[in-house]
Structure 1
């Protein structure tokens, strides 16, 4: 191999030697929990369309996985086959995912919001052999959509439908047989090698072009070990997974983490804030994770009279930098330590603020590298950035993805294993980083770089502002001007003069003030809650001066 190219074999050897790749399956930890506490509640699944949640003990969950694994093998699903799962946060997701791992298949989590356009591409590109969908979810007929796509997907051999009827119904297809395919003996990895692709997840599409990200059991396990260690999580915890299982926050930092440590895992399929915090209060939830929007919703629900989740002690907040005002509010109103995290589909949970320093650091950083992960900030010329200097963020380590599926033309790592995140960041003198936009997030107005995140956070402090995103639009004289897209709290108003008065009150340089305000019903987001600023930039192009547009 060329000295100038990344060597995955050497990387794997280094990760094993340092103890960050453990070559273990989730089956091994599941068996240990079943042996120790078979009747402990493993999974509770709350469905908005049902009055009573589904509850499974660890021994019941283990038996369902064994039955489903035997059924998958009978259907011809085995090593390397792709099982796509387009389910909400339902218990069936956990059963099919762990059963697929057991037979050596690849799990491809898909968001329920995807429709024909996205699915035709993703299922075809992945060469999906089995697709699991709900019959209906939020009034949409997923079964009909899946069947309409099948003629154009020659590799798709099976469609299984949760709540479906007949042979293709989930219960009949996977759980009705008497045969069991049990886990391999403790200490043996089983059908799925720990360094081979186990999960294929498409990027969220903040740039509009999803790519297939490949993870293995070792990288997923590295994520779980890193989070459990930094958070101090163990079998005594109860976790609410309200972030979608179709995204790594829900799938890896929620479901897999909880089952790996033997905790009780609670799924909520539709995020309704009042119901969510009520579940937290009733079930004694100690940990949850999600984007800042979930945290804001929780605060609003409790302020409106919902029961306060008294046992909730840690919240992992990921997806975007958290407004400091929201962190302060969560601590003041919920007695909750919000731990900031930065990660990507490619690098999972890379930096995290530990609970002991959450109040001090989460409001101004996105954490420090978890064990097995390293980050660095570089100037555009490749030289190291100074402490506090904004630059390009790079990451490497135990949680890094294997590469992009079917994209041998893309080399995501440099020779030393560093991955270019595309994020801009700065680092403090203790090694904590702060995400400061993406390369494409920069607004350059009259030669000055507008500190977009800082201005967004200032606007968030306005009582009327529920959410905000600032993007640039073309200007013939200054190059770019800033437009603020704002979602207002119900019953409130805001105009540009009010925004500018707010900026003046906080003594912000006028060059940084938004020069246009657009009130919108909602901001376009990825399934993970990240604002899709590229869509806002397209909208904002219409605000350019006529001369600028004519010359474009």
Structure 2
């Protein structure tokens, strides 16, 4: 017997419709690329999204077409999140920090028909245009006065399209399993892989994010995502914030410490999220200026594992609670989040940070398992290590065009490429990426534990541990670190500092101080590049 309940599709436009109806006066604030702060309400955003839906339809965009953006976090990009997906097309957010050849490759692989781009990318798009085999229409996301002359000939202007079209638009009835977004991951070997999101998966993911044991969002919050909108949909905050009527603060291009702090103070941000490198810059700026962020309640840190030192600094200087998260482009991106259980209320500070170093507990909708080398599921004892595999309604079931099919297992699980343990309380602890793990004398050494150990020294800003060839042990760890501004320390002091905190045989043979570490387009240290550099110098 089937239930007698209405069958209403979960669709992305319904989120913005809800926000405009019940939270119509809540603001979306942007630091624009043109310069001024732009602010309007969810009601205003809906009007413009409908105008753009009409404009895209008039340009010939059809359901299933891929519409690309080369853009930062702005209100125009926010409008496209709803306008493109709302007409049944697929929003393909391209990371502008990719090499130009990779930008062209993903646009051609996706077979994009339209490319909308921010000012600042006019010259790049002009150079790439002859290489984009399927793109027929270019749109500059600005007004006529700011259109770059280097843009491709015939480039249309976003604001003129908005003005030329009516806000009267009825969203079509869409199958909730219809594709809504396409994002290419840089976390795999070879060419980037396309992750194809759907309306149903994204709405469910947004609903999970706002729960108290996740991002804990409500209409009383002001959300400042310091993950760009091309990076796994800014961790879904452009959907989660309007879902509950939270104020949304979009930082534009600049995510340096002064810019983030200025915006957070001016707009009274209560929830911040981003990768560890963002918070190093924010905290160093606060140290230098004495400025305070008094309204921040929660800070979510993901993308790569934060150290205990970084989390302590965030909580001490911001008076906020850190919630570490783990996820991937393939998980939309939320997989787990580190929130305490009732029994943790009595834990002391050291025990609390030991727990917070774990990536977090599974949330409803995401199943986790640890698979051993022998093909058996490992116990949740916090000791047994293996390959982390996941499944759930917002986890990818395949890459676009079936690339990289080997990571999607026959029994319906996705092999993440991470090495991890799960403890008896359900907390996931990553020990490495499979491609980054150091195997010395047949035993694994956790690069994350080494990085956390050296980063607990007050002089250290960032750290990366990599394996280097060794004639006796196959591999030995090398630690590379950058120092905080104005700090100096002897590498042997750092080596001794690490030795006090890890197993003796884990202690790296060398700690090397460097001016900078290579940072990738999503804010992660590029360990493959480091290994190549070290191999070249050897």
Fold in common (TM above 0.5): yes
Structure 2 match to 1:171: 158
CA drift of 1:367 comes to 0.9
- Cα distance in 1, alignment partners of residues 327 and 101 from structure 2: 27
Q: How far apart are residue 534 of structure 1 and its match?
A: 1.1
1:523 aligns with 2:508: no
Asked whether the equivalents of residues 101 and 192 of structure 1 are also in contact (C-alpha less than 8 Å), the reply is no
Q: Say if 2:96 is the partner of 1:112.
A: yes
CA distance in 2, matches of 1:454, 1:410: 31
The equivalent position to 1:352 in structure 2, one of 314, 330, 337, is 337
Where does residue 150 of structure 2 map in the other structure?
none
> In the alignment, what sits opposite 2:131?
152
Instruction: Provide the C-alpha distance between the structure 2 equivalents of 1:408 and 1:509, rounded to a whole number of angstroms.
Output: 40
Structure 1 counterpart SS, 2:203? helix
- What is the match of residue 69 of structure 2? 85
Conservation of the 8 A alpha-carbon contact between 1:486 and 1:517: yes
Shift of 1:89: 1.2
Unaligned runs of 5+ in 2: 148-153
Query: In 2, distance between residues paired with 1:30 and 1:447?
Result: 54
Residue-pair matches, total: 513
Following superposition, the deviation at residue 204 of structure 1 comes to 2.0
**CA shift for structure 1 position 121:** 0.5
- Counterpart secondary structure, 1:424: strand
Q: 1:514 to 1:172 in 2, by over 3 A?
A: same
Residues 372, 398 of structure 1: 8 Å contact kept: yes
SS in 2 for 1:176: helix
Aligned equivalent of 2:198, options 189, 212, 216? 216
Distance (whole Å) between structure 2 residues aligned to residue 509 and residue 228 of structure 1: 40
Partner of 1:46: 31
Q: Residue 102 of structure 1 contacts residue 183 of structure 1 at CA under 8 Å; is this kept in 2?
A: no
Task: Report what 2:140 is aligned to.
Answer: 161
Tell me the equivalent position of 2:177. Answer: 195
Contact 2:326 2:337 in 1 (8 A): yes
What secondary structure, in the 3-state scheme, does the structure 2 residue paired with 1:304 have?
A: helix
Assess if the C-alpha contact under 8 Å between 1:292 and 1:322 holds in 2.
yes
Cα shift at 1:335: 1.3
CA contact 2:19–2:245 (8 Å) conserved in 1: yes
Cα deviation, 1:63-110, whole Å, max 9, x if unaligned, reads: 110111100000001201111111011211111221101211101111
Where does the alignment leave 5 or more consecutive residues of structure 1 unmatched?
Answer: 1-15, 137-141, 185-189, 545-552
Counterpart CA distance in 1 for 2:87 and 2:34 is: 32
Look up the match of 2:533: 539
Moved more, 507-516 or 310-319: 507-516
2: CA distance between counterparts of 1:48 and 1:521?
30
Contact kept in structure 2, 1:82 and 1:127, CA below 8 Å? yes
Please report how far the alpha carbon of residue 157 of structure 1 lies from its aligned counterpart in structure 2 after TM superposition: 0.9
The yes-or-no answer on 1:226 pairing with 2:208 is yes
Match of 1:329 in 2: 313
Work out whether residues 85 and 181 of structure 2, in 8 Å CA contact, stay in contact via their aligned partners in 1: no
Distance 2:242 2:296 in 1: 19
What residue is the counterpart of 2:229 in the other structure?
A: 245
What is the match of residue 238 of structure 2? 255
Match of 2:151 in 1: none
Q: For 1:213, what is the secondary structure of its paired residue?
A: strand
- Alpha-carbon distance, 1:249 to partner: 5.8
Q: Comparing both chains, which one has the higher relative contact order based on Cα–Cα distances under 8 Å and sequence gaps of 6 or more?
A: 1
The 10-residue stretch of structure 1 (516-525 or 414-423) with the greater mean CA deviation from structure 2: 516-525
Q: How far apart are 1:543 and its partner, in Å?
A: 5.3
- In structure 2, relative to structure 1, the CA distance for the partners of 1:396 and 1:491 (3 Å cut) is same
CA distance in 2, matches of 1:486, 1:70: 52
Pairwise CA distance, 1:342: 0.7
Shift in Å, 1:208 = 4.9
1:400 aligns with 2:395: yes
Q: Secondary structure of the residue that 1:193 maps to in structure 2? A: coil
> Which shows bigger deviation, 425-434 or 360-369?
360-369
Contact kept? 2:53, 2:84, Cα under 8 Å: yes
2:54 matched to which residue of 1? 70
Structure 1 match to 2:11: 25
Shift of 1:519: 2.9
1:486 aligns with 2:475: no
